[in-house]
């Protein structure tokens, strides 16, 4: 769907304005504003240029200037009314970008040593929604879960030792049960851990799809796809000219490509560190699976790892800009105002599935999405439960249910776009102004990955509808007005549905 912002940019360019800064879709004055980069030319002159543009005359009611940089634009009623038609032509609202890319987004990728915890929730829902946004931007998107199940890794060995009763480091009630049910015939901890992790992954997969409503396209096993196939050894060869020996270990000269220091690739025991297979994994994404862009979502505890990985990519001839790493700040668990250190070892953590049992998937999703990823989150389950009763997600869903209820009462709900000129009430026009923003929201979010924009938008959309509902009766005696309003709420329902779908939140017809 074309955006109003695109049209304004087009008009501005046609009018010969060269210093367009950006186009604001939520300005303090007017409906849209062009922000001009400061130049010698007077802003009034620029506004005059726009005013004399033919297309501008069709779209803008009023054009005002606010020096030094603002040109404020007011949309015509007729333009807004006609935009309803554009909306109703679509089923799925998209905002296709010019360049279509093959993108992989890898998220959660939790260790296969236990079920997903509260902390995994942030990255999980952000990743899922981001994938939705990117596919609606016209890209080919793959969701991937990376399974760190290498037999020679410490965590898998430890898991194996636990299973073989040689240690109890990871023993949780869930694990106890799992070990009982899994038949392990080997005495090798690595092998045992690997087998057990396969079983655990099955549970994670089930939870992820059924409870968290996230469907991965690919579950990628490190052991099966990297280690087994010696991909790490192959990538080692490719990196050879950047590797040197020091104190019996082998180091990668990452400091040459922007990292703060060099890192060990192969231990003095001859065993590779985690770093090597991880480089091989990323090499595989770009060079073997041919993704144009790869997005990784990591927890804040991995932030020191970013420069290292990007440095390694540069060494392999992969431009670091092709790898975007989103850092989710950690979630802290709080109880009675005090922090509880989440530790799988001590069993002090909350499972994501427990949270969802308490508050429901819609609230959980909305809650995690609302927060910007750069901020720390304190999580209090008790408070979350209380809050869930008053969660804004219900406010948004209520708008959807309300529309549904009106449509049920109406005798004929077919769209009659010829009557749209009857929509002149302020509340009606304000609602349309919100409706036309969804493709802009999609576009912005595809560019900066700030998914909290969506819950934000869904609320203002619902507010615009509730206000309209309060001020304008849809089922009216005046035939044409009723038809116009029914058409409007059909469009509103469509936009609400799309917004909720992108967030992965259900659209109840009744509440």
Site for RNA in 326-365 (CB under 7 A): 327, 329-330, 332, 339, 341
- Least distance (Å) from RNA to the CB of residue 316? 19
Q: Which stretch binds RNA (CB under 7 A): 123-131, 193-201, 234-242, 393-401?
A: 393-401
Residues 123-152 touching RNA, rule: CB under 7 A, are 148, 150
Q: How far, CA to CA in Å, does 202 sit from each of 164, 206, 213, 376?
A: 20, 6, 15, 30
Q: Which stretch binds RNA (CB under 7 A): 51-59, 224-232, 280-288, 298-306?
A: 298-306
How far is the first Cα of the chain from the last one, in angstroms, to the nearest whole number? 31
Nearest to 354 by CA among 387, 386, 382: 382
For RNA, the binding residue among 42, 62, 256, 303 (CB under 7 A) is 303
Q: Give residue 94's Cα distance to chain centre.
A: 15
Residues 402-421 touching RNA, rule: CB under 7 A, are 402, 404-406, 409
Is residue 138 a contact partner of residue 94, using CB atoms and an 8 Å limit? yes
- Least distance (Å) from RNA to the CB of residue 28? 4
For RNA, the binding residue among 3, 4, 72, 493 (CB under 7 A) is 72
- Least distance (Å) from RNA to the CB of residue 408? 7
Q: Where are the beta strands (DSSP E) in 91-131?
A: 102-106
Nearest to 332 by CA among 371, 284, 359, 281: 371
Q: Which stretch binds RNA (CB under 7 A): 162-170, 195-203, 228-236, 303-311?
A: 303-311
Q: Which stretch binds RNA (CB under 7 A): 173-181, 204-212, 302-310, 343-351?
A: 302-310
Is residue 282 a contact partner of residue 323, using CB atoms and an 8 Å limit? yes
* Phi, psi dihedrals of residue 278, rounded to the nearest 5°: -70, -35
Site for RNA contains 28 (CB under 7 A): yes
* Phi, psi dihedrals of residue 252, rounded to the nearest 5°: -105, 130
- Least distance (Å) from RNA to the CB of residue 420? 17
Site for RNA contains 248 (CB under 7 A): yes
Q: Which stretch binds RNA (CB under 7 A): 182-190, 209-217, 400-408, 432-440?
A: 400-408
Q: Which stretch binds RNA (CB under 7 A): 41-49, 172-180, 368-376, 490-498?
A: 368-376
Q: How many residues does the chain have?
A: 511
For RNA, the binding residue among 304, 319, 343, 346 (CB under 7 A) is 304
For RNA, the binding residue among 273, 415, 417, 507 (CB under 7 A) is 273
- Least distance (Å) from RNA to the CB of residue 141? 23
For RNA, the binding residue among 16, 21, 317, 347 (CB under 7 A) is 21
Residue 110 in tokens:
């939790």
Q: Which stretch binds RNA (CB under 7 A): 189-197, 206-214, 285-293, 449-457?
A: 449-457
Residue 511 in tokens:
């509440």
- Least distance (Å) from RNA to the CB of residue 91? 23
Dihedral sign of CA atoms 399, 95, 423, 411 in order: negative
3-state secondary structure at position 233 = helix
- Least distance (Å) from RNA to the CB of residue 102? 26
d(CA 461, CA 210): 29
Q: Give residue 461's Cα distance to chain centre.
A: 19
Site for RNA contains 267 (CB under 7 A): yes
Binding map of RNA across residues 456-495, x = CB under 7 A, - = no contact = x--x--xx--xx-xx-xxxxx-------------------
Site for RNA contains 317 (CB under 7 A): no
DSSP at 33: E
- Least distance (Å) from RNA to the CB of residue 331? 9
Instruction: Count CB atoms within 10 A of the CB of residue 209.
Output: 12
Only one residue has tokens 């991909």, namely: 231
Only one residue has tokens 């803008």, namely: 60
Site for RNA contains 154 (CB under 7 A): yes
Instruction: Count CB atoms within 10 A of the CB of residue 10.
Output: 13
Is residue 145 a contact partner of residue 153, using CB atoms and an 8 Å limit? no
For RNA, the binding residue among 184, 249, 340, 381 (CB under 7 A) is 249
3-state secondary structure at position 18 = coil
Site for RNA contains 370 (CB under 7 A): yes
């Amino acid at each position: 769907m074309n955006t109003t912002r695109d049209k304004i940019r087009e008009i501005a360019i046609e009018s010969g304005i060269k210093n367009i800064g950006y186009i604001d879709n939520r300005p303090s004055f007017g409906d849209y504003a062009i922000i001009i980069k400061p130049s010698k030319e007077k802003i009034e002159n620029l506004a005059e240029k726009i005013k004399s543009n033919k297309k501008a005359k069709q779209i803008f009611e009023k054009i005002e200037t606010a020096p030094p940089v603002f040109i404020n634009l007011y949309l015509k009623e007729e333009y807004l009314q006609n935009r309803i038609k554009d909306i109703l032509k679509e089923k799925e609202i998209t905002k296709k970008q010019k360049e279509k890319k093959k993108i992989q987004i890898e998220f959660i990728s939790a260790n296969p040593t236990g079920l997903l915890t509260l902390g995994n929730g942030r990255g999980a829902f952000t990743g899922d929604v981001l994938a939705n946004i990117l596919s609606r931007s016209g890209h080919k998107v793959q969701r991937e879960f990376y399974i760190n199940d290498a037999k020679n890794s410490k965590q898998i060995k430890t898991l194996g030792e636990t299973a073989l009763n040689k240690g109890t480091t990871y023993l949780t009630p869930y694990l106890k049960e799992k070990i009982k049910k899994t038949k392990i015939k080997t005495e090798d901890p690595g092998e045992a851990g690997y087998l057990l992790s396969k079983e655990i992954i099955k549970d994670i997969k089930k939870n992820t799809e059924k409870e968290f409503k996230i469907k991965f396209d690919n579950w990628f096993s490190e052991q099966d796809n990297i280690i087994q196939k010696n991909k790490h050894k192959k990538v080692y060869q490719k990196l050879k000219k950047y590797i040197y020996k020091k104190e019996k270990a082998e180091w990668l000269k990452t400091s040459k490509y922007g990292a703060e220091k060099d890192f060990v690739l192969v231990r003095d025991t001859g065993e590779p560190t985690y770093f090597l297979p991880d480089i091989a994994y990323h090499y595989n994404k770009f060079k073997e699976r041919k993704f144009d862009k790869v997005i990784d979502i990591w927890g804040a505890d991995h932030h020191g790892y970013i420069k290292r990985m990007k440095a390694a990519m540069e060494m392999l001839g992969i431009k670091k800009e092709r790898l975007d790493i989103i850092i989710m700040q950690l979630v802290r668990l709080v109880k009675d105002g005090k922090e509880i250190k989440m530790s799988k070892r001590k069993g002090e953590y909350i499972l994501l599935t427990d949270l969802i049992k308490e508050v429901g998937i819609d609230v959980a999703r909305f809650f995690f999405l609302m927060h910007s990823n750069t901020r720390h989150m304190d999580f209090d389950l008790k408070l979350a439960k209380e809050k869930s009763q008053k969660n804004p997600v219900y406010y948004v869903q209520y708008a959807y249910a309300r529309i549904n209820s009106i449509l049920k009462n109406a005798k004929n709900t077919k769209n009659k776009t010829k009557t749209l000129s009857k929509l002149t009430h302020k509340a009606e026009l304000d609602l349309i102004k919100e409706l036309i923003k969804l493709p802009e929201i999609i576009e912005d979010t595809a560019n900066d990955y700030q998914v909290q924009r969506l819950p934000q938008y869904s609320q203002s959309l619902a507010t615009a509808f509730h206000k309209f509902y309060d001020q304008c009766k849809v089922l009216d005696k005046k035939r044409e007005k009723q038809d116009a309003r029914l058409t409007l709420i059909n469009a509103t329902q469509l936009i609400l549905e799309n917004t909720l779908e992108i967030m992965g939140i259900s659209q109840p017809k009744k509440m």
